[in-house]
Structures are given as C-alpha cells and as structure tokens.
Amino acid sequence: MNRKIVLVCVTLLLLSVIGTASAKTLYVDNCGCADFTKIQDAVNAANDGDIIIVRNGVYFENIKINKSLIIKSENGYEKAVIKSKGSKFNITANDVEIAGFTIIGDNLFDDIGIKLKDASGCIIKNNTITNNYIGVMLWSSSHNSIIDNKINDNIYGLDFYRSNHNIIFLNDINNQVDDIGNIKESQTSSDEYWFSPYKLKYTYKNKEFLGFVGNYWVYYVDFIDDKDKDGICDSAIGSDQYPLKEPRCYYNLQEDLYHISASQKITLFYDENNIKLTKPLFLILSLVMLFGALCPFIWIIPPFISGEETFKENLKRRFLDVIGLGICLFVGIYSITLYQQLNPTYSEAGGIYGEWVNMPLKILILYFFGLFIAFCQNVVNIFYKPKPQEGIPVKDLSSRGATRLEELPKVEKKEGYISRETISMEGTLPQIPNYQVIKRIGFGAFADVYQAKTSNNELVALKIPKIKQFETITSNAFLKEVRIWKNLNHPNIVKLYDYNEKPIPWLSMEYMDGGSLREKLNSLSINKSIDIIIKIAKAVEYAHNKGIIHRDIKPENILFKGSEPKLSDWGLGKLKSSVSTMSMEFKGTLMYASPEQIDPSTYGRVDERADIYQLGTLFYEMLTKKFPFEASDILSIREKKISGEVVEPSKLNPDIPKRIDKIILKCLAKNKEERYQNLSDLIRELGG
C-alpha cells in the first residue's frame, strides 16, 4: 500500500513538472534578433499559458489574441510601441495579460487601443494608451482588471458594452469627451468597480496610508477637497468612491500590483474591522451560522417536551448550552437580517470577481464566543455528577443522551411488589446483566423498548416497564404477557428469547429491523395487503389453536423483519380458558375494537372472533387508508361501532375487487355470530 502511495505521488510530481515545463517564453524583436519579428507570429506559434516578451521598438500591427497568453514589453521604462489603425490588441480569449506597451492610434473612428470581446479574467496594466477613438473597449466581457494605465488624449477613454463586474483603479484618465468620468459607457453595462478590491498601503507626500484607491480624473479633481491630506478625494466622482487627488505618479505603492495574474481569483480580504466576502458567500456563511445554532437544540428540547424531564431540570443541566447557542442563534438571525440590507454595488468592498460586501468581524467573534460557552457545558457535564438522594440509586450518566433520574420519594416495599426505585426511568439507559443497552427505539403507556446486544453480539429488543404515575407495580401484570408469549412459536410472531422477573422485570425478544405496518400503510398495493393479512391471520389462528386471544391487532403491533410481517405485543392477550372471568372494562385500541369489546352487555363476551373483527378493520384501513368508522370524538366513534353501517371499501377505492368487499364486511359484522367463526375460512377465501 505504501509503495502504491509513493508511486502515485511521484507520478503527480512528474506530471506537475511536465506541465510547468510545457509553458514556454517566446521573444519578439523587430530587428530580427529574436525568435520572431512580429508579435502576431509569436501569438500564432504560442500555446495557452505561454509568455511573449516584446523588445523595444515600434510595431505596426493589429494583433488578434485567441489564447490565454501573457504579452508584455521587455522594458517597463522604454515601452514597446504598437502603432496602427483599427484595434491594436483584439482579445477574444480568457486570462490574457497585456502589460507595459505604448499603444498609439490616429484618432480615426475605428481606432481602438485594446478591445476585449467575450473575454474574462484578463489584466490590462501599466500601458500608455493614447490618440485612439476609444482607449479600451469591453464588449460582453466581465471580471477583467484595468490597472495602473495612462489612458490619455483619446476621444473616449473606456467603452463598456454589455459588460459588468470589471475593476478599474490607479489609472490616469484624461480624454477629450467630458462625459461622466470621461467614459463612453452604454446603458446596458452596470456594476463596474472603480476602486481597488481591498485596502492598499501607499506613500503620498512622504506619508504612509492604508486605504482604497480609485482613479485620477483630470477634469474633476480640482473641484473636490482632500481635507485629511491622504491623496484621496473626499467626494466620489460618479461610481469612483475613492478618486485620486493627483496623478498616479504621486503615489508610491508598497506592494507590487504586478504580481496579479490573469488566472488569480480574489475571494477573501481582510481589513481592521470587516471580512470581505462575495454576497453569495455571505449568505451561505450566515445560513451555516443560523442552522449550526438551531441543530443542537434537537438534543436539548425533546427531553422536556416528551416528559422525560421538566423544563426546570433540563435548563439546570443545559444552562450553558442554552446561553451559548442562544448567542449563536442571535448572531445567525442578525447576519441574515444584515444580508437583506446589503447594497454592495457601491460598497467599499467592490471586487473584481463579484459583488463584495462587508461582514463585521465582531459577528464571527461573538458567534465563536457562543460556541465556546456551549462547549464549556460539555466540560462541566464530564466532571459533574448529581448527588444521589438517600435511598435513590443514581445510574451511570456518562453515556451520551443519558439524563438524571427524577427525584423519587421513598416508598414502602410490600410483598409481591417491585419498588419504583428499581424500575428504569425514561431518559436513562438501564443496566441489564448480559445485555449492552444501546438506545430506546419505542415506548408505550406501560413499557419502553430498547435496542440491545447480547454477550454474543446479537441484536435484540428489550421491553422494560416504566412507572411514572404510580408508586408501585405488581410483577404479575407485566409477566402475564410473558406467560402467554413464551408458548408461541410461529414464523409470523415475534420471537420471545428470554425474560426476568426480579428485581427489574424485562423480556428479550426478536429485533425487528423493518419498522411497523403503520410506517408502510400508505404505500401498500392491494395484493401486498392481502398477503400481509393472510400471514397475520395464520399467526392469529396459531395463537387461537393454543387457546390465546390477542385483542389488540393494529398496525403498530405488526412489525417487519426485512419484508416479513410478524405480530407482536401480547400485553392484552388473554387465555380462552379465562374468558368467563374477563373484566367488563374496555381494554384495547378504540379504532380497532370490536362491538363486544365496547359493549359486552349487548354483544356478549369477548372471544377469538374479536380478533377476526380487528383483522377486518386492519384490512379495511390498509386498502382504503381510512377507518370503517370515523368521527371527531370518542363517543361518536363508540356509537357508530355499535349502531352504524360500514361503507363498502370499493366505494372508497374502486380498484378493490367485490369479493374482497364481501370478506371485509363479513369480518366487520356487529354480531360475532355473523362473522367468520374461525380464521381457517377467512384464510381460505383470501386464497391463502
């Protein structure tokens, strides 16, 4: 593996060296002392990325450039001269640099010093452009830079047509037409930036300054003051917010402007109090700060919403989190609000490659301060352990997501009862011998269900009772389910592996990884629904043959192992031998309950045919996505179940066959004598 990595690195290094070596430098000298005598010949012979050095002399050429090249005069003081009619440099490529030339025209109508058409990322710098009809023309060109040029004695200095986001600064502009800034600028162009993208260090009259710099406008500066004597006019000239008070030669820059290459993209700049960002980047950073503050509340808010903790208890445990994340949330909202108020077109952060805006540095400082406070809460939680009250055990709270036990009163222990102290409370991960409890995956009114691993590293589900509203609980109430369940072994019944009675009752069962039927209800086809009902009916028939009635068949109690449905939760199950002793009190889920479960005085005692009614209700819901009886309140639902008529399923879903209508309506007969008398008949008619 290490040899492969070394080989890849060497290959990349060689490729980079080869790539660097492929860029070459070509020389032009009109005296014949170089590779070429004409600039155009050098351009034709060059490849993208090559450098063309033009030696001193006068070149009577019109140069067309359709490659990414750097073309510059060899001597910056005695510049090579380009003198001809028409466009001297006609650029139609991206990332072209033209530097150090004197470009002279004849003031004819078609004379253009440098013309950029459909070009981007180009640099025009340190040139003298004079006696042209237009000094520099940009046609459908964006994100170019015109820096440190003398654009003098032209009819028009600059002409922008359908161009935007170009930057122009440190130029001497002195041309014949006294337009706004001596610019022939079409109305279709906008968002040009007439000053440096960041603050520059410069010396003016032997004093050092740091600031934005614009251009020198001959016809305007005499009318504008410079009260602070920094060489920058106090008032804007058109779109130039920082015009120079005197010609460019009076300003000595302490950094080399000419290191800027055409391929550079300026993305982030700093000054004393702000960070310079493009407007989209400002928005992205603001949203990251906002949602970065909101997301942690997912772990803070649910405990007291679900009742695992009171608000006061949660606040005590998460006080620094709330303060820190509250600060971050405020900063995120403030940043979004600030973004909506930005107007970057004339901001002091205008940029070459987009609209630049200021993000106050104090925003980020305050945000990270809030994160630091929230981090401190985690440090406190590591070292802080709640003091146990007398008689109350405190479990290990170091695992993620665990919360402190509720303050429980001492209770008197009675024979046959299990103290509330020994029962696992919500919000904690219980400690069960030979099991590693991972997380809570379900809960009900009576018990919580946890995902756990056995000592053999097998996933199981642990069901453990919870007590909140009572002081004590009999073990018989919970273990009744175990006695029923342990005798059931069917491919469509969730397996019971193990159970315990004291000190904490729990049962270990098959882990179901496919979710419940409730989660799949809206995506079931008719054939798939029939298949599920047949399999669950076979499971219930098996239980009936064992003398057991389920009494609570509903989507939440049908779980999936992969795609296989299995019936779970036998907490309301009852042995048929004890039917005569059943309480007259209703037990179960109202929407699925049979009439005899609701009104046994009218419809008789509950027996296995109540399960058939519940299967019919479940089948009805799977096919129509509605209950057989619906109403806005419980009393109305009870009344409809006792005396109302069921709407045929096919009227709600025309795709349901008529034979299925008859099967469902027979299952939902109010009198149990009119239903299927056993599940074998139902399964046979469904085709199972």
Nearest partner of 504 among 574, 435, 588, 587, judged by Cα: 435
Element (H, E) at 103: strand 101-104
The structure tokens 């995956």 sit at 441
What the block records as the tokens of 351 is: 């940029």
Give, in degrees to the nearest 5, the angle at Cα 495 between 623 and 530: 15
The alpha helices in 23-123, defined as continuous H runs, are 39-45
Give, in degrees to the nearest 5, the angle at Cα 383 between 379 and 385: 125
Q: Is 54 helix (H, G, I), strand (E, B) or coil?
A: strand
Give, in degrees to the nearest 5, the angle at Cα 77 between 105 and 244: 75
- The partner residues of 548 in beta bridges, in order of sequence, read 575
Give, in degrees to the nearest 5, the angle at Cα 159 between 153 and 163: 155
Q: Which amino acid is at 109?
A: F
The structure tokens 């993000």 sit at 359
Sequence-distant (6+) residues with CB within 8 A of 528 are none
| Number of neighbouring beta carbons within 10 Å of residue 61 | 18
- Based on the residue annotation, tell me whether 633 is a catalytic residue of this protein: no
Extended beta strands in 340-415, E state = 356-360
The alpha helices in 430-500, defined as continuous H runs, are 475-485
Sequence-distant (6+) residues with CB within 8 A of 44 are none
What the block records as the tokens of 162 is: 């359908």
Determine the Cα–Cα distance for residues 475 and 461; give it in Å rounded to an integer.
20
Q: Is 122 helix (H, G, I), strand (E, B) or coil?
A: coil
The active-site residue out of 552, 569, 599, 611 is 552
What the block records as the tokens of 274 is: 């702000």
Question: Residues 493, 543: contact at Cβ < 8 Å?
Answer: yes
Determine the Cα–Cα distance for residues 441 and 604; give it in Å rounded to an integer.
38
Determine the Cα–Cα distance for residues 81 and 113; give it in Å rounded to an integer.
12
**Which residue pairs from 202-206 have beta carbons closer than 8 angstroms and sit at least 24 positions apart in sequence?**
202/231, 202/251, 202/252, 202/253, 202/254, 203/251, 203/252, 203/253, 203/254, 204/230, 204/231, 204/250, 204/251, 204/252, 205/229, 205/231, 205/250
Question: Residues 389, 404: contact at Cβ < 8 Å?
Answer: no
The structure tokens 């969730």 sit at 494
Determine the Cα–Cα distance for residues 423 and 498; give it in Å rounded to an integer.
18
Extended beta strands in 554-650, E state = 558-561, 564-567, 574-575
What's the N-to-C CA distance of the chain in angstroms?
57
The alpha helices in 150-275, defined as continuous H runs, are none
The structure tokens 């069921």 sit at 646
Nearest partner of 567 among 517, 498, 610, 609, judged by Cα: 517
Determine the Cα–Cα distance for residues 315 and 325; give it in Å rounded to an integer.
13
Determine the Cα–Cα distance for residues 618 and 664; give it in Å rounded to an integer.
10
Determine the Cα–Cα distance for residues 589 and 556; give it in Å rounded to an integer.
11
How buried is 546 (Cβ within 10 angstroms: 0-12 exposed, 13-18 middle, 19+ buried)?
A: middle
Q: Which amino acid is at 444?
A: G
What amino acid positions are annotated as catalytic residues? 552
